[in-house]
Amino acid sequence: GIAFGENVKYLDDSALENGLIVDIAGAKILEKMGIDVGLESAGGTYVPAQEYFPNKNQYIGLYGCPVTEITVKNGAIVQSLMNGQTGNIGSYTYENAQGQKFLVFAFDGYSMSEHAFKQYARGEQIEEWICSLGKKLPASMHGNPDCYMLCKENESGKAVWIGNFFSDECMNTTVILDKEYTEIEFINCNGVLNGNKVTLDYIGPYASIGFNVK
């Protein structure tokens, strides 16, 4: 699940059982409610130039994005740093004594600019965290930030729709499925199925494509 700011006040207990993504505003509220999200302290705000993801060795530029200075409790795992390898914490993961798991951003989810979210490293970070909970996304793709996906599953297979909401075409797009399939039907596109990987030759500007796998 995901909840920013005041929305965390309206979560029931079950929402905390399967992993939760929160921003700094939500994390502070949960701590005041007696829910341990790994936040030790929160100070003032600053505007960093970039965010660094150590496990990927990637630097992502941020523009006009206010971030809160935070410290975290023992057991928290830092996932990104602001302004380089020795900067302040940008995000972290944490599991408390009750087994509740969190991915926490050190910025406000509502006021933050799209540079904090619309980036490859952030998408990969969220997907990797979800997979660390013992779950898999039914389908995922990276490298095409203006493509949007819908999935529908039944006992025999899965249908995937992809819409490209941008003026650039997408070439050799790879979609990773949660398990292996042996048959595929392409709709308005061509490609290759290899186990749990589907490679799509071409998605045109503002085009809709899809495929069924069994």
Taking 80 as the threshold, does the pLDDT of residue 202 lie above it?
yes
Burial class (CB in 10 A: 0-12, 13-18, 19+), 14: exposed
Burial 29-38 (b: 16+ CB within 10 A, else e): bbbeeebbbb
Q: Which residue has the higher pLDDT, 211 or 134?
A: 211
Counting Cα atoms < 13 Å in the Cβ hemisphere of 30 gives 30
Query: pLDDT for 69-91, tens place per residue?
Result: 999 999 999 999 998 877 899 99
pLDDT at position 35, please? 96
What is the overall mean pLDDT for the chain? 93
pTM of the model: 0.86
CB-based contacts of 92, cutoff 8 Å, min separation 6:
38, 72, 76, 77, 78, 79, 103, 104, 106
Distance CA 143, CA 124 (A): 10
